[in-house]
Amino acid sequence: MDKQVFKQIIKDNQSEIERYEVISRNLDIDDFPCIVIVGVRRSGKSYTLFQKMQQLLKEGHKWDEMLYVNFEDERMADFSTEDFNKLLECHGEMYGTRPMLFLDEIQNIDNWEKFARRMADTGHIVYLTGSNAKMLSGEINTTLGGRYLVKEIYPYSFKEFLNAHHIPAGQMDIIGTEQRINLMRHYEEYIHDGGLPAAALLPVRTNYLNSVYQKIYLGDIIARNKITNVAGMRVLVRKMAESVCRPISYNRINSLMSSVGGKLSLATTIKYIEYCEDAWLLLRLKNYVSCLADKESNCKYYFIDNGILRLFLIGKDSMLLENMVALHLFRKYGHDMENDHVYFYNDGFEVDFYIPDEELAIQVSYSLRDEETRRRELDALKKLPNRLSCRRRLILTYDEEEQIEDSHGLVEIMPCWKYFLWL
């Protein structure tokens, strides 16, 4: 690529970043010189880089100390591995300094790992972002040689969603009726429309959410993996949405595909699911007590954002609520490729979530007013302490609250919004 084009891109990016109004997020990216930020498209990875650069500018740093490039810029379409050095040369010619590097969506460039490792080896401060979950894989981490710290970024938490709307969320802030009504209105929006940052402030979000999904589906899944059976993949995503929150095996998914005329081989079905995970559209949850083979092949799957999931579901608020809780737990405890932080439990009875490090068991139920639902949710939490250590047991609801004592101690019933904000 031509150096003059690089220099124009560098200058244009500086002007763009300075004028962006970024809502601050506490993502803890200051504790390591080389960071890889990974997550789904439009989850705020670029804004995180903007926030960091704006912070540096406020502290007195200048643009001669920073180099930002977005590899989804159409002007970078012909960029190749050899052009990485040209970027450094261009910055040197413009400023004569050694910059901190901010490289956005770097997974679009082949062999980016070698350049990233070399920059770390030569003492550069480097911030990378990527939309491919394989950037968390053992192979990539081996290539980077332990030189980078990986940070996952998710759509807004409920607290961040409220902050974006300038709504205080402390316990004393919602004592009044009007304040509580306002919080509950935004809670309802968050359940149905999710937390993608750019969508949060839109008055009507469906069109935007559909455009983001299409970009993930057509760009990160279909085009990147050269899938020719586009109809089959479309059916698979819809079936995964309809099955969210329930354990489902590869064989079952394959059977569902066959029943609607989208017949695929089992190997292809498995690959398609992996492609959805690579694009951060789906997040896998394993059964804590399964054997190794079953842990990999009989899992629960959740969507990365409630707004995207709702594109496929009508009148399924209970599923949206559980999906929202799953995202909160992944955000809080992490979701790497092995995912040994958050599980579900299924061995004769099912518990929606179990966090071993906390010995925490969680059921999610939109409401417990139905006696059969109440009995089922409580029975599972009464049985689990006989199988696993449970220091705390919760049932998260839409807006019901109660405490129940049994022979193992306390079962806390509380609204999801309260758990998200204060616990």
Please write the tens of the pLDDT for every residue from 253-304: 999 888 776 678 999 999 999 999 999 999 999 999 987 667 777 899 999 9
Query: Rounded to the nearest 5 degrees, what angle is found at the Cα of 311, between the Cα atoms of 243 and 279?
Result: 70
User: How many residues comprise the chain?
Assistant: 423
Q: pLDDT at position 138, please?
A: 53
Alpha carbons within 13 angstroms on the beta-carbon side of residue 227 total: 25
Question: CA–CA separation, 277 vs 285, rounded Å?
Answer: 11
Question: CA–CA separation, 335 vs 313, rounded Å?
Answer: 24
Q: Which amino acid is at 347?
A: D
Please give the structure tokens belonging to residue 137: 């894989």
Beta bridge partners of 395: 363, 413
Strands (DSSP E) contained in 20-175 are 34-38, 66-70, 100-104, 126-130, 149-152
Question: CA–CA separation, 183 vs 216, rounded Å?
Answer: 31
Q: Which amino acid is at 355?
A: I
Q: Cβ contacts of residue 423 below 8 Å, gap of 6+?
A: 414
Phi and psi at 360, nearest 5°, equal: -115, 130
Phi and psi at 347, nearest 5°, equal: -155, 80
Question: CA–CA separation, 191 vs 137, rounded Å?
Answer: 31
Token pair 């992944």: residue: 330
Question: CA–CA separation, 293 vs 250, rounded Å?
Answer: 12
What is the 8-class DSSP label of residue 341? S
Asked if residues 39 and 152 have their Cβ atoms less than 8 Å apart, the reply is: yes
Token pair 């891109």: residue: 9
Four-CA torsion 181, 331, 302, 205, nearest 10 degrees: 50
Give, in order, the Cα–Cα distances in Å from 372 to each of 170, 376, 378, 379. 35, 6, 10, 10
Q: Which of 344, 398, 343, 408 is nearest to 373 (CA)?
A: 398
This prediction's pTM: 0.92
Question: CA–CA separation, 362 vs 355, rounded Å?
Answer: 9
Give, in order, the Cα–Cα distances in Å from 177 to each of 71, 174, 182, 417. 48, 7, 9, 16
For 355-398, how does the pLDDT look when each residue is reduced to its tens digit (9 = 90+)? 999 999 999 999 999 999 999 999 999 999 999 999 999 999 99
Question: CA–CA separation, 199 vs 268, rounded Å?
Answer: 33
Please give the structure tokens belonging to residue 52: 């960091």
Q: pLDDT at position 25, please?
A: 86
Q: Which of 115, 66, 54 is nearest to 95 (CA)?
A: 66
Q: Which residues of the chain have pLDDT under 50?
A: none
Question: CA–CA separation, 294 vs 139, rounded Å?
Answer: 23
Q: pLDDT at position 67, please?
A: 98
Q: Domains of the chain (ranges plus CATH)?
A: 3-152 (3.40.50), 200-422 (1.10.10.10)
DSSP string, 129-173: EES-GGGGSHHHHHHHTT--EEEE--SPPHHHHHHHTT---SGGG
